[in-house]
Chains A and B, each alone.
Chain A
Amino acid sequence: MGTGMRAIVVGVTFGMLLTLVGCKPAAPSGPAADARPKVALIMKSLANDFFATMAEGAQQHQATHAADYELLVSGIKNETDIGEQVNLVEQAVAQGARAIIVAPADSKALVPALRRAQSQGVLIVNIDNRLDADVVRQAGLQAAFVGPDNRDGARRVGEALAAQLKAGDEVAIIEGVTTTFNGQQRRAGFEDAMKAAGASIVAIQSGEWEMDKANSVAANLLSSHPKLRALLCANDNMALGAAAAVAAAGKSKGVMVVGFDNIAAIKSLLADGRLVASADQHADRLAVEGIELALASLKSGQPGADRATPVDVVTR
């Protein structure tokens, strides 16, 4: 290949990249942008429908309140990429965000980065997954929490399932990333409900919030515990993976699956009974409530109070 040809290849590639980056979705710029406060929404894996819904809700809200604020939306590759989420917090600060709405991928490890942001005058609102209270206090972070009571929600999902179980039935829990607060809460809620129903929890394993992982975990549980009656999954992504494993094992009749989040993808599964129940924590509202709290605090100069959002159990 000639030198000219090579230069063209490199040139075209970078040109393409620039165009790609230039076509950014929601980052209006121009003179008006400067007056409005920038609010950064930092979520977890955008591969998860739950956060995609959350992002859509936030973008719709911004579109109807375009004059009030500018929205920066970002997320990470997978649920465990904490380093990247810390990076997103730092970049938001560097971009001059006035407020950060964050769904932390880890309940503790994000605190220092958020505290550094706060020390630069950025308002922090914690949504979805609650930061560890002790660590927040130790670090001196001020962050209002907007989100559901996960333990209560999980308990109620568990109860919906328990209605179809007898005492002594074997069940297993597929929990989320074990280092997250909401993961721990949901697991605890499931355990509460199962204990109350007298079911026997034969295994608790992590599916790390991901469909793939949960699918292989579920498949193994099904073969090692042939009498298993139900799989309680800490989110719907994992419930989808588990339901697929159940179908693959030919046990659709005998093994029930519940999830959490009520993402769009599970509608049909709920309808035909492959999924017994899930919890809707109104993802689209979650970010919006966080944004509204942040805007109000920015206006008043007062840190907002924690706000509990509703959780509804959905069955077929």
Chain B
Amino acid sequence: MFGLKRGSAADLLVLLAVWAGLLLLFGQLSAGFLSPATLGSVANRIPALLLVATGMTLLMVTGGIDLSVGSLVGFCGTVVGVVMVDWGWTLPAAVACSIAVGLLLGSVSGLVSVKLRLPSFIVTLGMLEVARGLAFLAAHSRTKYIGDTIESLGTPIAGLVVSPAFLCALLAVALGQALLSYTVLGRQLVAVGANIEAARISGIAVDRPRIAAHALLGALTGVAAVFNCSRLGSADPNAGVGFELSVIAAVVVGGTSLLGGRGSVAKSFLGVLIVATLEAGLVQAGASEPLKRVVTGVVIVVAVLADTWRRRD
């Protein structure tokens, strides 16, 4: 009863209600919205978001943040492209490379930020530029078309309706929540985020969980990059620009505190659903791009505001 405390079930219900509300609302606004095609498009959109949101939640629970995940999606994706197109390796090998690169860069961010005592905000802001630059270098500034092999990850499995990517993302969410609720590392993440001094005095080696959270997020971003490639069928060094903001928005809508000490992967999952549904719904309702951004921005702030109010009562 620690990751999912009392009242947490109520939080989940509130988020579910918001999601259902959005579905109904957009169903009213545009006729074709409540269709398998829409749900399919949402399901196809979210695996990458879900994976990274899971890792981001774990990191934000410790009070850290990673702004470089968008660039990392671009760079790891480029690695997939180079490995598969230029070197002709298989998909599993490419996935392994992508995860390795993500893990490496995530760990670097973590080590630099924790050991050199720099705010993770600053360190990953630097990494945002570094990884994007590496992406362009590795791809020679050209998109690489990969094709069917990788697209199959995003295509629904026959008879199952959902794609391997989606299943994998769900698995990550489940494992992420389990990690937070049932493991020693999960406890340490929360304790470090809630009160790092108290955690240190309680005998927790506080650097380790913080670095681990960065590394884990990096690895998950590596997987997300593969799914992003599968959606594009190609490796594009531009991929993932602005992705970090969508992820952070979803995590925050899910009620995770930017200050650390509080967060739930399950709620981030609903946050992702809400953000993705909002995106799809606004397009279908005919909202123009500027209007979409205004609405999305307001919804994020109001969602977080409502959450804070509920907590205070």
Given contacts A25-B288, A46-B288, contact A91 B239 (CB under 8 A): no
Q: Give the shortest distance, in Å, between A78 (CB) and chain B (any CB).
A: 7
Residues of B within 8 Å of A177, CB to CB, are: 238
| Ranked 9 nearest A-B pairs via Cβ | A112-B233, A27-B286, A90-B41, A178-B141, A24-B286, A94-B37, A109-B232, A80-B238, A91-B283
Q: How far is A304 from B45 in the complex, measured between Cα atoms in Å?
A: 31
Q: How far is A13 from B305 in the complex, measured between Cα atoms in Å?
A: 12
Whether the pair A179, B44 counts as a contact (CB closer than 8 A) is no
Flag A17-50 by CB within 8 Å of B: 1 or 0 each: 1101110111101000000000000000010000
Which B positions have Cβ atoms within 8 angstroms of A? Answer: 25, 29-33, 35, 37-38, 40-41, 44-45, 136, 141-145, 147, 151, 228, 231-234, 236-243, 279-280, 282-291, 293-295, 298-299, 302, 305-306, 309, 313
Residues of B within 8 Å of A81, CB to CB, are: 241-242
Would you call A237 an interface residue if the criterion is a C-beta within 8 Å of the partner chain's C-beta atoms? no
Stretch at the interface among A134-142, A154-162, A244-252: A134-142
Q: List 27 A-B residue pairs with CB atoms under 8 Å apart, sorted by A's residue number.
A: A17-B295, A21-B282, A21-B285, A21-B295, A24-B285, A24-B288, A26-B286, A29-B31, A46-B289, A74-B288, A74-B289, A76-B289, A87-B280, A90-B40, A90-B44, A94-B32, A94-B40, A94-B41, A94-B280, A94-B284, A95-B30, A106-B234, A106-B238, A138-B145, A139-B145, A139-B233, A178-B142
Return the contact of B287 from the options A1, A21, A112, A179 (Cβ within 8 A).
A21
Q: How far is A13 from B282 in the complex, measured between Cα atoms in Å?
A: 16
Would you call A299 an interface residue if the criterion is a C-beta within 8 Å of the partner chain's C-beta atoms? no
Instruction: Give the interface residue-count category, chain A.
Output: 35 or more
Q: How far is A135 from B146 in the complex, measured between Cα atoms in Å?
A: 9
Within 8 A of B (CB), among A188-224: 206
Q: How far is A298 from B107 in the complex, measured between Cα atoms in Å?
A: 53
Given contacts A17-B295, A46-B289, contact A112 B141 (CB under 8 A): no
Whether the pair B298, A17 counts as a contact (CB closer than 8 A) is yes
Interface-centre pick from A21, A24, A72 (highest chain B CB count, 10 A): A21
Given contacts A93-B41, A94-B32, A108-B144, contact A86 B238 (CB under 8 A): no
Q: How far is A138 from B233 in the complex, measured between Cα atoms in Å?
A: 11
Residues of B within 8 Å of A132, CB to CB, are: 143, 145
Q: How far is A177 from B74 in the complex, measured between Cα atoms in Å?
A: 15
Q: How far is A91 from B33 in the complex, measured between Cα atoms in Å?
A: 9
Whether the pair B143, A108 counts as a contact (CB closer than 8 A) is yes
Residues of A within 8 Å of B285, CB to CB, are: 21, 24, 27
Within 8 A of B (CB), among A87-133: 87-88, 90-91, 93-96, 106-113, 115, 120, 132
Whether the pair A111, B145 counts as a contact (CB closer than 8 A) is yes
Given contacts A46-B290, A75-B289, A94-B280, contact A134 B32 (CB under 8 A): no
Residues of A within 8 Å of B30, CB to CB, are: 95
Q: How far is A269 from B295 in the complex, measured between Cα atoms in Å?
A: 36
Residues of A within 8 Å of B288, CB to CB, are: 24-25, 46, 73-74
Q: Give the shortest distance, in Å, between A92 (CB) and chain B (any CB).
A: 8
Would you call A3 an interface residue if the criterion is a C-beta within 8 Å of the partner chain's C-beta atoms? yes
Q: How far is A184 from B44 in the complex, measured between Cα atoms in Å?
A: 30
Closest-by-CB residue of B relative to A72 is B286
Given contacts A46-B288, A109-B234, contact A91 B280 (CB under 8 A): yes
Q: Give the shortest distance, in Å, between A98 (CB) and chain B (any CB).
A: 12
Would you call A83 an interface residue if the criterion is a C-beta within 8 Å of the partner chain's C-beta atoms? yes
Given contacts A77-B293, A93-B41, contact A112 B286 (CB under 8 A): no
Closest-by-CB residue of B relative to A5 is B309
Given contacts A21-B291, A77-B293, A95-B32, contact A90 B236 (CB under 8 A): no
Would you call A82 an interface residue if the criterion is a C-beta within 8 Å of the partner chain's C-beta atoms? yes
Q: Give the shortest distance, in Å, between B204 (CB) and chain A (any CB).
A: 38
Would you call A65 an interface residue if the criterion is a C-beta within 8 Å of the partner chain's C-beta atoms? no
Known: A10-B302, A25-B286, A90-B44. 17 other contacts (CB 8 A): A21-B29, A21-B282, A24-B287, A74-B288, A75-B289, A78-B242, A82-B238, A86-B232, A87-B280, A91-B283, A91-B284, A94-B37, A94-B38, A94-B41, A94-B280, A94-B284, A108-B234
Closest-by-CB residue of A relative to B154 is A112
Q: How far is A86 from B249 in the complex, measured between Cα atoms in Å?
A: 20
Residues of B within 8 Å of A88, CB to CB, are: 283
Within 8 A of B (CB), among A142-179: 177-179
Given contacts A82-B239, A95-B30, A108-B144, contact A135 B234 (CB under 8 A): yes
Would you call A6 an interface residue if the criterion is a C-beta within 8 Å of the partner chain's C-beta atoms? yes
Q: How far is A109 from B73 in the complex, measured between Cα atoms in Å?
A: 14
Residues of B within 8 Å of A17, CB to CB, are: 295, 298-299
Return the contact of B283 from the options A1, A6, A74, A96 (Cβ within 8 A).
A74
Q: Give the shortest distance, in Å, between B313 (CB) and chain A (any CB).
A: 7
Closest-by-CB residue of B relative to A29 is B31
Given contacts A3-B313, A17-B295, A93-B41, contact A108 B145 (CB under 8 A): yes
Closest-by-CB residue of B relative to A79 is B238
Whether the pair A138, B147 counts as a contact (CB closer than 8 A) is yes
Given contacts A108-B143, A138-B147, contact A113 B231 (CB under 8 A): yes
